[in-house]
Structure 1
Amino acid sequence: MLIPAMEEENVIHIPIDDLNRQKYPSKLFKTYVIADKCHDRTAEIARMHGANVVTERTDQNIKRHGVGKSNTIDYGLHCIKDWHSFDYLVIIDSDNDVSDNFLQRMNDYAIEFNDPEAIQSSLESKHGHGFINHGLNMSFIRSNFFQQLPESKHGCASLLGTGFASNIKKVIEPIDGFRFHTLTEDAYEELSIISSGGDVKFIPDCYVVNENYSRFGQASKGLTRWSRGAFQCFLYFFNWALSHAIINPNYKSFHVLCRTSTLSKMTQLIIIWGAWAWNYIFGVAFSSNIQILIYPSWFQYIMLLASLVMTFNIVIVENWYLLKPKYGCVKTTLLIINAYFFQMFYNIINLYAIVTFWENKWIVSTHGKEAR
């Protein structure tokens, strides 16, 4: 169990205490906090609550690879001399609540599905305030039900940055560590596994609870980082996915193709706008045949229509189906309005992230003192 942390003295006890209370034999797992470049009491508090602690001074001879969280996890892993003896590496964020059946259900799935390459638990969200927090919370609820459950049956669930296990023999050892070199190491690992024919499974009945953004500035930085990393994954995997979907069509190649496209949500609109601008500026200079080869107008309208249908389905239909029985018509309508404004905000973030994707920075955001 690795918990990467930076300046997290307010919350680091939460996941450690939850892991200490697991309904799973304590001799079968070890918890490590990677207190990387912390100047507060993160390391001290982690030790007080029973975790092993790795700091940047544990082994300065270890070479660092990648950026941000991936780099921190890889460094911490190599500071653990017996990491090869474990079956799975589990990543938990420093602010997460963890269900007491988490490790037992991970073990159950590992046995039932013959040691899959990765396993993701259900991801839930702590309640904050504002349309950003509500929009993110609803996206988790919708994703768990409409995306993770059906895609897990085909071994194509998504990894979500926390609450997931990676198979050490099949995934970690072949690349000699946790070396997924994008700003979204979870999405990169997921796409690497699935494009290689491996399986990512989803467990609906154990969970981690994440602290989501409520403040505008914090959300802008965090979502920009995510969107840049998503576009990096698009650049890495799109050509592979497109060629395999044509040459050797199967569920996993189509999944990677769709996943890379939707990870970089503004890519489609940028293509449409770019094509319209091209036709407006240069259209008179080319024959209609050449214009069709560049980007046919009928395809632009199909993409635009598909985007509108997907937005209507994701924002309104799926959220209404899941939320109305719990909250009633009025509150569900208000939550859907929040979700719509969040999607508009997220599209702006995606546009900015794509045109600045080369800024390969990991922006650290510390967590607050939210109640459990």
Structure 2
Amino acid sequence: MLDQFFSQISFIDIFNFCVFLTFSICYTYQLYYVFVVLTRKPKKLVAKKNHRFAAVISARNESAVIGDLIHSIKVQNYPSELIDVFVIADNCTDDTADVAREAGAIVFPRRNDKEVGKGYALDYGFQVIREQYADRGYEAYFVFDADNVLDVNYFREMNATFDNGAKASTSYRNSKNYDSNWISAGYAVWFLREAKFLSQARLTLNTSCVVSGTGFFIAADIIEKHGGWKWHLLTEDIEFSTNSILEGVRISYTPTAILYDEQPTTFRDSWNQRFRWAKGFYQVFWHYGARLAKGVVANPKGARFACYDMLMTIAPGMLLTVVSVLFNAIIIVLAATGMMSTGVMIASSLSSIFFCLFNYLVFMFMFGVLTTFVEWDSIHAPTGKKVLYMFTFPFFMLTYIPIALVALVKKCKWKPIQHSISVDVAEFSDAAANAKRERTM
């Protein structure tokens, strides 16, 4: 009977099983992350000293929102004389520079149509700061996007992390416009999930986190060591994180430092942004994957698990789903055209495609539900929309499949995304506090 069973297993079944097994082996450890977050709380840090920081903002045509960010920095519960704000007005054609100056920032206009992208703009900004403001003795640099706004305690909490020895740290990334539509909500849930079930778990387990675009600091001696910001791939933040881990620098996380970020609301902007991210991840994997794999076996800095975790972060795991779907689709086409035997093969491939996509949707739905309920008070939206977007989140994530596929074969150019949403971050803080009070009464 066993021989009869194995004789009925086709190469299609074997291939699909191998894909499923590979994915499970590589990423099951992240389920342990969920267990860690639900059962353990991160240690509360206290600072013995207030340190001197520079906030660096790369902005291109961001006059509608940059004033809000600078204002949120100026009103921090932290000595204002210890924070200077620098804005790189990168190839701007509007009055971003004037708005930033009026809000109290030091502005560096930049014109360069050959070296395009945030990484190059940051490098230029760091060069000017190091040349012209070296006497101010900055101990760390904060990096923000122009559309961000900060909770009033942001710098106080990040200072505690820096004071306790961190060389770099990311922060809690929330959304300004969760309730705009299913696209902005999809982003918001993903970043909340990243903060809670990846960064917080890594912090608790004392391994390295990853900086994600905005809302992080870097110790000044790291910038000095590298001579500026020397990471210029499409996802310069992931490249920096990967390089840091390979050099033995642990990136921390500060769960109490809250940043609000504006998310795209049109599918076109979302496609362009995530296409750049996908392409950037491929670039980082191509440049650093072999070194990370080597570090998993023998990292001289003793961060083997961090190397593995980073390797899984940049590895094209989405391609496993893409490869499985494409493989089975090709089998169906070949069988339908008579080039291969039909019947069992078509049924097997159809069931495999359904199984693959269905499980992906279920997995993402579970993560969306878990994240929404755990972070319920932090999500600024009506109850009905919170519930609705738990169901749309899996389909938002499903759109990553064609994006990952196109990113394999199409070149990518940096495209700006317009930001226009102005918010009073104090209202967010009050709403969260009131919601928390109501739940505990």
If the length of structure 1 is used for normalisation, what is the TM-score? 0.81
1:231 and 2:275 correspond: no
Task: Give 5+ residue unaligned stretches, structure 1.
Answer: 282-299
Within the candidate set 172, 178, 186, 1:122 is matched to 172
1:314-352 deviation per Cα after TM superposition (whole angstroms, max 9, x unaligned): 345554554499899976552221101101112222221
Contact preservation (8 Å) 1:156, 1:194: yes
Change (3 A) 1:269 1:325: same
Identity among equivalent pairs (%): 26
Q: 265-274 or 185-194: which moved more?
A: 265-274
Alignment of 1:151-170 (within 5 A): 151-153=202-204, 154-169=206-221
1:51-62 equivalences in 2 (<5 Å): 51-56=105-110
**Aligned-pair CA distance for 1:370:** 3.6
Task: For 2:367, give the aligned amino acid.
Answer: I
Q: Secondary structure at the match of 2:185?
A: helix
Q: Structure 2 matches for 1:14-93, cutoff 5 A?
A: 14-56=68-110, 67-80=116-129, 81-82=131-132, 84=134, 85-93=137-145
Cα RMSD after superposing both structures: 3.2
Q: Which moved more, 1:78-87 or 1:189-198?
A: 78-87
Query: What amino acid is the match of 2:92?
Result: C
Aligned-pair CA distance for 1:65? 9.2
Establish whether residue 335 from structure 1 lines up as the match of residue 389 from structure 2.
yes
In the TM superposition, what are the counterparts of 1:113-152 in structure 2 within 5 Å?
Answer: 114=165, 116-127=166-177, 128-152=179-203
Q: Secondary structure at the match of 2:245?
A: helix
Q: Higher Cα Rg: structure 1 or 2?
A: 2
Alignment match, 1:192: 243
Tell me the amino acid that sits aligned with residue 119 of structure 2.
S
Pairwise mapping of residues 251-270 of structure 1 onto structure 2 (< 5 A)? 251-261=305-315, 264-270=316-322
Residue 344 of structure 1 pairs with residue 398 of structure 2 = yes
CA-to-partner distance for each residue in 1:140-175, whole Å, 9 max, x for gaps?
222221111111232412211111101120x21222
Deviation at 1:111, TM superposition (A): 1.3
Q: Secondary structure of 2:104's match?
A: coil
- 1:303-324 CA-to-partner distances (Å, cap 9, x unmatched) read x699688546534555455449
* Equivalent residue for 2:159, pick from 107, 110, 113: 107
Q: Which residue of 2 aligns with 1:314?
A: 367
Q: How far apart are the structure 2 equivalents of 1:124 and 1:159?
A: 14
Rounded to whole Å, the distance in 2 between the matches of 1:23 and 1:333 is 34
Paired with 2:212 and 2:103, the residues of 1 have a C-alpha distance of 26
2:21 is aligned to: none
Distance 1:65-1:108 versus aligned 2 partners, 3 A rule = farther
**Paired residues, what number?**
342
- What is the alpha-carbon distance in structure 1 between the residues aligned to residue 266 and residue 327 of structure 2? 36
Is this contact kept in 1: 2:209–2:251, CA < 8 A?
yes
Q: SS of 1:366's equivalent? A: coil
Report the TM-score, using the length of structure 2 for normalisation.
0.69
